[in-house]
Amino acid sequence: MTARQNKGMAAFVADCLRWSLAGGIIFKIYLASLLVVMGAGAVAYGKQFQEGLILTGMSNIVSWGLYISNFTFFVGVAAAAVMLILPAYVYKDKDLHEVVIIGECVAVGALVMCLMFITVDMGGPLKVWHMIPGIGLFNWPSSILTWDVLVLNGYLALNTLVPLYILYCNYHNRAPVGWKYRPFVFLSIFWAVSIHMITAFLYQGLPARPFWNNPLLGPRFLASAFAAGPAVIMMVLIAIKEWTPYPLDDKIFLKLKRIIVVAAVINLVMLFSEVFKEFYTFTHHSLSAQYLFFGLEGHTSLVPWIWTAITLNIFGTLLFAFDPSKGRSWYLMIAAICLFTGIWIEKGFGLIIPGFVPSPMGEVVDYTPTSNEILITLGVLATGALVVTILIKPALQILLNYKNSTVRRSDR
């Protein structure tokens, strides 16, 4: 076992591939079903590529829909890795340091989904090169969208390269060299905040859309992300705890729970503040909020969604705040699913669609995604799940081997 020094890059890649695909029959079925959903999504996208976005439910009034809603939400999930990195590196928290890598893998998966959602939403995906400086024209710094392109890709690079370096060292039975990666870890903390703030600025900076043109949008994005993101990580951790030999201390779950509760409560306070502003003095600019919460001119398609979301949000927060099970897996799983789903609806659909309704000319239409659009969305989600899975499995294997070998070395 100790002869694993200097195996080189090729062995690293080969072992990672092997570990990522190894597993029992249930795991194989899981992988296969992800691939099936991805395939269906790809076929649906092929159709959309041929016919155009006319195959979606979007229109000139509601011109962003399911894709951009999901994009917005998963930027938050990506940013949430920082809630593990920050305590692990700044406060030197040993328990959370154990699972930082999992947060980073989730972030990579979320970012892959974000970039895919943007791509499937574009009218001319083959013309993306028009945005590349040098051969295209990059409207930076004027367009917030160009900022978003920069920060998302930068964050993806940070969250890929840092764990890759650490794992590569561990694979070769070495401790990573601090100065080589720590600066990037601290950079990624600021970067995480920036990806979410800038994504909020995309919407916040548009006076044309009063529902979005609200200084609280950015901070609320952060608060909801720091609740929903760790909830996703919690779900992944529970899965790891239940189905893999990788040891996870119960303290990790308690700490994660505390982070989620604080963020979720702040999120609810801000939500309440927004609702108060919209409805205490009802102005022309509150029409979008009315459409969202109560319906407008007989159009009520979002009303059941937003109330479901708020119920799940509050329920999930309460479950996390008062945990009579004292950290039992199934209980935390339910709480995480509630909170995650609630924020997903509220910050996806509930944020993007009402921004467009009523239109700047006062018109109210409903938006319903088509089945083709839903298939593409599911395909992207499945891709994200696949990415997270095949990243986490070899990562855990490497960490476990490294841990065992260091234990063995200290025994000797």
Partner 1 sequence: MDDRNKKEDRKNKKTPPKTTRRTFLKGLSIAAAAGSAGLVTGGCVGSPPTEEMGLKWEEFFKKNYRLMTHEEKNETVARLERLAKIRYDLDIQVANQEPLEQVLYGYAFNISRCKGYMDCVEACVKENNLDRRSKTQYIRLFEMDPGQLDPTSGEGKYFHEVPVERKFYMGVQCFHCENAPCIKACPTKATWREPDGIVVVDYDWCIGCRYCLAACPYWGRRFNWGAPQVPRGEINPKQHYLGNRMRMKGVMEKCTFCIQRTRQGKLPACADACPTGSRVFGNLLDPDSEIRFVLANKKVFRFKEDLGTDPKFWYFMD
Q: Binding pattern to partner 1, positions 170-209, x when CB under 8 A? A: --------------------------------x---xxxx
Sole residue written with tokens 């937003």: 306
Q: In this chain, which of 29, 51, 183, 300 binds partner 1, going by CB under 8 A?
A: 51
Q: Please state the closest distance from residue 340 (CB atom) to partner 1, in A.
A: 27
Residue 304 binds partner 1, judged by CB under 8 A: no
Q: Please state the closest distance from residue 36 (CB atom) to partner 1, in A.
A: 24
Query: Does a cis peptide bond (omega within 30 degrees of 0) precede residue 394?
Result: no
Residue 130 binds partner 1, judged by CB under 8 A: yes
Closest CA to 312 of 354, 275, 266, 264: 264
Residue 153 binds partner 1, judged by CB under 8 A: no
Q: Rank residues 145 and 374 by Cβ distance to partner 1 and give the closer one.
A: 145
Q: Please state the closest distance from residue 363 (CB atom) to partner 1, in A.
A: 6
Q: In this chain, which of 9, 54, 134, 283 binds partner 1, going by CB under 8 A?
A: 54
Q: Is 296 helix (H, G, I), strand (E, B) or coil?
A: strand
Q: Is 37 helix (H, G, I), strand (E, B) or coil?
A: helix
Closest CA to 230 of 198, 264, 199, 200: 264
Q: Please state the closest distance from residue 71 (CB atom) to partner 1, in A.
A: 11
Give the Cα separation of 116 and 194 in Å (integer).
20
Quote the tokens at residue 364: 């109210």
Query: Does a cis peptide bond (omega within 30 degrees of 0) precede residue 125?
Result: no
Residue 11 binds partner 1, judged by CB under 8 A: no
Residues 6+ apart with CB under 8 A from 309: 341, 342, 343, 344, 345, 346, 350
Stretch that binds partner 1, among 78-86, 118-126, 222-230, 263-271 (CB under 8 A): 118-126
- Is residue 302 a contact partner of residue 328, using CB atoms and an 8 Å limit? no
Q: Binding pattern to partner 1, positions 207-226, x when CB under 8 A? A: xxx-----------------
Q: In this chain, which of 2, 60, 283, 410 binds partner 1, going by CB under 8 A?
A: 60
Q: Rank residues 139 and 311 by Cβ distance to partner 1 and give the closer one.
A: 139
Give the Cα separation of 158 and 161 in Å (integer).
5
- Is residue 307 a contact partner of residue 275, using CB atoms and an 8 Å limit? no
Q: Please state the closest distance from residue 272 (CB atom) to partner 1, in A.
A: 27
Q: What angle do CA 315, 320, 324 make, to 5 degrees?
A: 105
Q: Please state the closest distance from residue 139 (CB atom) to partner 1, in A.
A: 5
Q: Please state the closest distance from residue 192 (CB atom) to partner 1, in A.
A: 22
Residue 42 binds partner 1, judged by CB under 8 A: no
Helix 94-121 with 66-79: angle, nearest 10 deg: 160
157: enclosing H helix or E strand? helix 144-171
Q: Please state the closest distance from residue 306 (CB atom) to partner 1, in A.
A: 21
Stretch that binds partner 1, among 83-91, 126-134, 235-243, 257-265 (CB under 8 A): 126-134
Residue 134 binds partner 1, judged by CB under 8 A: no
269 C-beta neighbours (distance < 10 Å), count? 12
Site for partner 1 in 347-376 (CB under 8 A): 355-356, 358-363
Give the Cα separation of 296 and 289 in Å (integer).
9
What residues make contact with partner 1 under the rule CB under 8 A?
Answer: 49-54, 56, 58-61, 63-64, 118, 121-128, 130-131, 136-139, 142-146, 149, 202, 206-209, 355-356, 358-363
